[in-house]
């Protein structure tokens, strides 16, 4: 297997992009990525997208995106794993290059979610849950994560204020990110007084509906060194895992087994432990999700995700920074693009190019992207070389 590096990253602004179509934002991110890389060489295209058929009545993105990118005849495929679709696209591009099938592979994550109203968007997202035994009976993702939050609060004493601190911290970081949908700081009071969505989760505990795209160009370390435009960033580990799609089938709903196993596999492949990682981009679709992911990855002990956030452990200048980009909560969550955007942030940090949100001496990063209520997960380990 060949060693693999990231040589280009590109993102659109995340938000309500009324003036742009699905194909427009995918192409914009890809062109920015190629410009950043300093090459137009592409041997294969992988597109991560969850629900373009439901949001935009558009399938067959392999043909659509390559056509409008001016890359007809290029091998292309779309991958889907709910909200982990973007991360899985990067994994597929990695495999193209590592295996020798492609020398240059681009992964594009995209979602255009504001072409439908809020009710239809909620219905589309609910397809990532168990359609027969969860969604059919009226429970959506705010409801599912509210169940997790209540269980966590009951077992570990996690407080309503600690959940709010996840949002406060991520908005503080996102205010420094020019791509953020909501680049503004908030207070704990803002979260606690926002509208109730599914008790105990309020509006500011939930990631938004978002349009956006992100892209990364991957090649061999040897080719990356020849181009030499940016400091070298390699993907040294990848781990994936799945769990039951429905919460009720799990032995313990407070254990995110797919996250734990994917993290173990990624770190093992990279020859690292979690203590070797300098920062992480994690899937904070809801504030409780970030707390539970911290625990599943071993960043903190079970039950300590809330206190760790409250005491500054995961702040930008903390012992283990989490979501320097602002995360899904502030940066936004165009579901198919999120995993690719996490890779973009990690690469930017490892290059030392993250401007006001730059983490000092960042050398090793972890990105964690998951689908549904943790039914699938993909984790990447990136290193500055």
- Average pLDDT over all residues of the chain: 97
Here the CATH number for the domain that contains residue 23 is 3.40.47.10
pLDDT band of residue 118 (cuts 50, 70, 90) is: confident
At 31-89, the pLDDT tens digits run 999 999 999 999 999 999 999 999 999 999 999 999 999 999 999 999 999 999 999 99
Q: Both 269 and 245 in a single domain?
A: yes
**Is 182 found in the same domain as 331?**
yes
The band of 203, judged by pLDDT with boundaries at 50, 70 and 90, is: very high
Does residue 96 form part of some domain? yes
- State whether 55 and 199 are in the same domain: no
Confidence grade of residue 299 (pLDDT, cut at 50, 70, 90): very high
226: confidence class by pLDDT, cuts 50, 70, 90: very high
Q: Residue 167: which of 272, 323, 53, 9 has the closest Cα?
A: 323
- Number of domains within the chain: 2
pLDDT digits 0-9 by tens, 304-362: 999 999 999 999 999 999 999 999 999 999 999 999 999 999 999 999 999 999 999 99
Residue with tokens 């349009």: 211
- Which residue numbers are catalytic? 83, 333
Residues in the chain: 385
Q: Is 178 exposed, middle or buried (0-12, 13-18, 19+ CB in 10 A)?
A: exposed
What single-letter DSSP state applies at residue 311? T
Measured CA to CA, the distance from residue 187 to residue 172 in angstroms comes to 9
Whether 173 and 281 map to the same domain: the answer is: yes
Query: What one-character DSSP code corresponds to residue 83?
Result: B
Is 127 inside any structural domain?
no
Task: Specify whether 192 is located in the same domain as 325.
Answer: yes
Tell me which residue range forms the domain holding 192.
140-206+235-384
Residue 187 is classified by DSSP as: -
């Amino acid at each position: 297997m060949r060693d693999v590096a990231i040589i280009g990253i590109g993102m659109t602004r995340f938000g309500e992009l009324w003036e742009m179509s699905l194909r427009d934002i995918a192409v914009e991110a890809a062109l920015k990525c190629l410009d950043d890389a300093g090459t137009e060489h592409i041997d294969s295209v992988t597109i991560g997208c969850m629900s373009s058929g439901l949001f935009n009545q558009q399938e067959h993105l392999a043909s659509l995106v390559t056509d409008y990118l001016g890359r007809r005849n290029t091998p292309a495929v779309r991958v889907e794993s709910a909200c982990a679709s973007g991360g899985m696209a990067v994994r597929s591009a990695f495999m193209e290059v590592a295996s020798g099938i492609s020398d240059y592979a681009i992964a594009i994550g995209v979602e255009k979610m504001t072409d439908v109203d809020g009710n239809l968007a909620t219905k589309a997202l609910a397809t990532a849950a168990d359609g027969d035994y969860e969604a059919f009976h009226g429970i959506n993702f705010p409801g599912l994560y509210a169940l997790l939050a209540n269980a966590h609060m009951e077992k570990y004493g996690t407080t309503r204020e600690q959940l709010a601190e996840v949002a406060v911290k991520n908005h503080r970081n996102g205010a420094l990110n020019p791509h953020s949908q909501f680049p503004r700081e908030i207070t704990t009071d803002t979260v606690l007084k926002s509208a109730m969505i599914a008790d105990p989760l309020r509006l500011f505990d939930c990631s938004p509906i978002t349009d956006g795209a992100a892209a990364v160009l991957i090649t061999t370390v040897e080719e990356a060194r020849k181009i030499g435009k940016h400091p070298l960033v390699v993907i040294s580990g990848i781990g994936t895992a799945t769990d039951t799609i429905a919460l009720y089938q799990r032995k313990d709903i407070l254990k995110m087994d797919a996250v734990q196993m994917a993290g173990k596999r990624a770190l093992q492949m990279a020859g690292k432990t979690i203590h070797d990682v300098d920062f992480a981009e994690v899937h904070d679709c809801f504030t409780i999700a970030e707390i539970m992911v911290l625990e599943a990855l071993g960043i903190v002990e079970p039950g300590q995700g809330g206190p760790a956030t409250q005491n500054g452990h995961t702040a930008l200048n903390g012992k283990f920074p989490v979501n320097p980009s602002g995360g899904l909560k502030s940066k936004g969550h165009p579901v198919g693009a999120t995993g690719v955007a996490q890779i973009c942030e990690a690469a930017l940090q490892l290059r030392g190019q993250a401007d006001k949100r730059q983490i000092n001496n960042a050398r090793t990063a972890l990105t964690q992207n998951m689908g549904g209520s943790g039914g699938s997960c993909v984790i990447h380990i990136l290193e500055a070389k």
